[in-house]
Structure 1
């Protein structure tokens, strides 16, 4: 076994052990969260970001965010988003950013009117305006800063695989923690609603999002980094465990997103492979399908058939639920109504919650960033969405070696559709769409050209 593979197994073991230790001694989570930030800052400053260490630091924060929230290891709720913004600023200081990243400067400017309007429309008697606005704008700001840094930044495919691994390791710790937190599944799963007890006592929607992302990340390891049968088996087992834990949250959004990402990746690989590569992919697809079907039936058995009813949108008695999206369509409808009433500049950042309180008498936060942008930013929200959706696609026309681009874009748009921007994951992963991917062969060609020029 090569040193690289030994190091990988060591990292996997350490993060499994981390999940165990934090479950046994919860205070370790606070030490872990603080050390993660301190070590990242030290490492970035020491290396002066020569090898995009900032992206590794941000990836680790993204992967650990839900786990730290679940175990109370974060100093505050938005620590991860502001931590990423801080690291990105360090990266810009040492490595700069593309002068062509104009779409994202426009994007950041378009956010300003909504903030200004919010200072006028939010109820001073019931809201701390500064905290309310910062809570709601932190996700979009995180996306803007990360996108400025990543825009057309050159990076090797091996590096993007390592960034994904760094992101996935703390998700593995989270999955390990969940195993210990919910040992008796049949006793605590009694309905088809999202289950807090199987989600580490935290929000099932966010936990499902993290685990769905982890499922995709370790599936990529199955394809690109399983050089031996032993590593293949290890990675498959990790995918199985994370998938199982994700299903048990009974929150569908994150798991469906993970499956969609895997399907997109397989399609991209299939299209870009030669005949021998496609034959291997066919075998892999058969194995993967068998594995996922197996884990589905095992989960059905453990939940007494409730997981199947959940994904069919039925209650525990098998009756079809009135709402297909757990009531989220009513929230989206209210935001569309707010847009129709204020089509130019919207009702202001964070005003949507107050708007629904006025309309329905209930305090309900938005789950859909798409309709939230419309309601709170008006027509500027439409421009924001157009910039965010089409810019990565235009860049891809000259960057078709970015095999993960459509996977990342799918994660962003599907996640903000069911979990808004409550976590830093959609912001940072969206920014990864903008990286300029190069292969080792590209560097060899460039070096050869330089040598030819010099000899002439």
Structure 2
């Protein structure tokens, strides 16, 4: 099945299919469970087959991982694990490292930095589940740095992986839309709203919708096909932005803005020679309309909520408006700043080795008992100096991205993925698959020919397994042949 999803012969069908999959989840979890395992087992033959490139494995892994939130909403546990992203990414990365014999020194060092804290518990209250909950996300980030660093993908393969990640997000979109009550029945407040996030954690829903918005924007700007129709893609962009803003959880949508601004920065800095050489998109033709869609979504939601959305993004709370509280960095960050300060204080007290994995919430003076929302402070408090080294390596990898690709647009995309990945750790730690997935993709070595983008055209093309196009909006090399052989191996033959 992964082959048919990658080849994308009927793009509009797959969009509708995943929207219907989300609607079915509002009635029963078994359709989602059935589809998840059908794709998994029907694609194993493609994954275990010896290949020159890990493209197929990565596509399947990120597609299945993106079902994390939809499976939670559909209550598929224990058939699909509650923290699907963590377990699946860890298993997939370990398999990939051995299968493709990769040696990423930075990732290896980061992984080693996490080991000592597993044997330390300054609180005496940490359970095994606490260790898994807090450390597995950081382990996954180390594993993707180990595996993905300088892995060679084509621009078309990158576009395909991003498209595969968006599909399950569409299921979450339709699920949330069905579960959202009539606006007249909702009491809007200056805080995250469970009623408008499908009855689920608004921070995670906002993060996922923000991710979907950014990925669709990237697909549009690069003229990589998604639904097969530009206007449908724009409608999806609006719907993701609209539902993400409705959650009143700011983290995910601010991340989208950061990613979009990063891409615009690199496009703006491109020289006239680079614009001609890589046929870079004109800002007025694609970028401005998509930005206006986001602004329109914000205006509509602000009107629906009687201006509360604007106040929410200004950092206001009911307390600050009524005068019972003073607006501070802590109120603006919904308590995250106090958590950060408490963790830093613990680091000064346990400077070298930290308090141990999962122990900071039991020892923190501020926001005691609250799980860490800022990964940097958690690394410092629980892993000590080694946690600091871990984060420095992560920053170093990002600095190298500034000269990662000659094409300003591709360089901007990689940088945007990295920035959103790191930014997410400052409001949701590393509890979701978003950070390791985006970070891994940002570390890829993207192959493209100077004139590749000049071939892009918005026209309908006939699709077949041997067609030179996988995505209608852009003629590209075949990803898979009928027998499942990867494009790189075909070229070599």
Which of the residues 142, 166, 170 maps onto 1:144?
142
The aligned runs of 1:52-67 (5 Å cut-off) are 52-67=55-70
The aligned runs of 1:121-200 (5 Å cut-off) are 121-123=122-124, 126-128=125-127, 130-200=128-198
Question: In the TM superposition, what whole-angstrom CA distance separates every residue of 1:407-432 from its partner, at most 9, and x where no partner exists?
Answer: 11111211000000110110121111
Report the CA distance between 1:142 and its aligned residue.
1.0
Which of the residues 45, 53, 75 maps onto 2:48?
45
Question: In the TM superposition, what whole-angstrom CA distance separates every residue of 1:338-367 from its partner, at most 9, and x where no partner exists?
Answer: 0111111111110111113xx368421010
Match of 1:92 in 2: 97
Contact 2:11 2:226 in 1 (8 A): no
Match of 1:24 in 2: 27
Which of the residues 110, 113, 127 maps onto 2:113?
110
TM-score after normalising by structure 1 = 0.87
Query: Structure 1 pair 423/39, CA: closer, same or farther in 2 (3 Å)?
Result: farther
Query: Structure 1 pair 163/427, CA: closer, same or farther in 2 (3 Å)?
Result: same
Counterpart CA distance in 2 for 1:127 and 1:111 is: 16
Segments of 5+ residues of structure 1 without an aligned counterpart are 444-456
Aligned residues: 432
Matched, 1:82 2:90: no
Question: In the TM superposition, what whole-angstrom CA distance separates every residue of 1:173-208 from its partner, at most 9, and x where no partner exists?
Answer: 111111101041342242111111111111111111
The aligned runs of 1:28-427 (5 Å cut-off) are 28-46=31-49, 50-75=53-78, 76-97=81-102, 99=103, 101-118=104-121, 121-123=122-124, 126-128=125-127, 130-225=128-223, 231-272=229-270, 273-274=274-275, 280-315=282-317, 318-319=321-322, 321-322=327-328, 323-356=331-364, 359=365, 362-394=368-400, 397-401=403-407, 402-403=410-411, 404-427=413-436
Counterpart CA distance in 2 for 1:412 and 1:267 is: 18
Contact 1:62 1:424 in 2 (8 A): yes
Match of 2:16 in 1: 13
Range that drifts further, 309-318 or 370-379: 309-318
Query: Structure 1 pair 226/84, CA: closer, same or farther in 2 (3 Å)?
Result: closer
Counterpart CA distance in 2 for 1:51 and 1:363 is: 41
Counterpart CA distance in 2 for 1:243 and 1:290 is: 11
RMSD, aligned CA: 2.7
Counterpart CA distance in 2 for 1:279 and 1:376 is: 45
Report the CA distance between 1:234 and its aligned residue.
1.0
Query: Structure 1 pair 262/395, CA: closer, same or farther in 2 (3 Å)?
Result: closer
Match of 2:485 in 1: none
TM-score after normalising by structure 2 = 0.81
Query: Structure 1 pair 36/144, CA: closer, same or farther in 2 (3 Å)?
Result: farther
1:408 is paired with a residue of what secondary structure? helix
Report the CA distance between 1:398 and its aligned residue.
4.9
Counterpart CA distance in 1 for 2:368 and 2:426 is: 21
Segments of 5+ residues of structure 2 without an aligned counterpart are 1-5, 453-493
Query: Structure 1 pair 79/175, CA: closer, same or farther in 2 (3 Å)?
Result: same
2:193 is paired with a residue of what secondary structure? coil
Counterpart CA distance in 1 for 2:406 and 2:219 is: 21
Counterpart CA distance in 1 for 2:419 and 2:133 is: 24
Counterpart CA distance in 1 for 2:101 and 2:117 is: 28
Counterpart CA distance in 2 for 1:226 and 1:127 is: 47
1:115 is paired with a residue of what secondary structure? helix
2:22 is paired with a residue of what secondary structure? helix
Counterpart CA distance in 2 for 1:300 and 1:102 is: 48
Query: Structure 1 pair 229/133, CA: closer, same or farther in 2 (3 Å)?
Result: closer
1:418 is paired with a residue of what secondary structure? coil
Match of 1:449 in 2: none
Counterpart CA distance in 1 for 2:217 and 2:19 is: 18
- Bigger helix fraction: 1
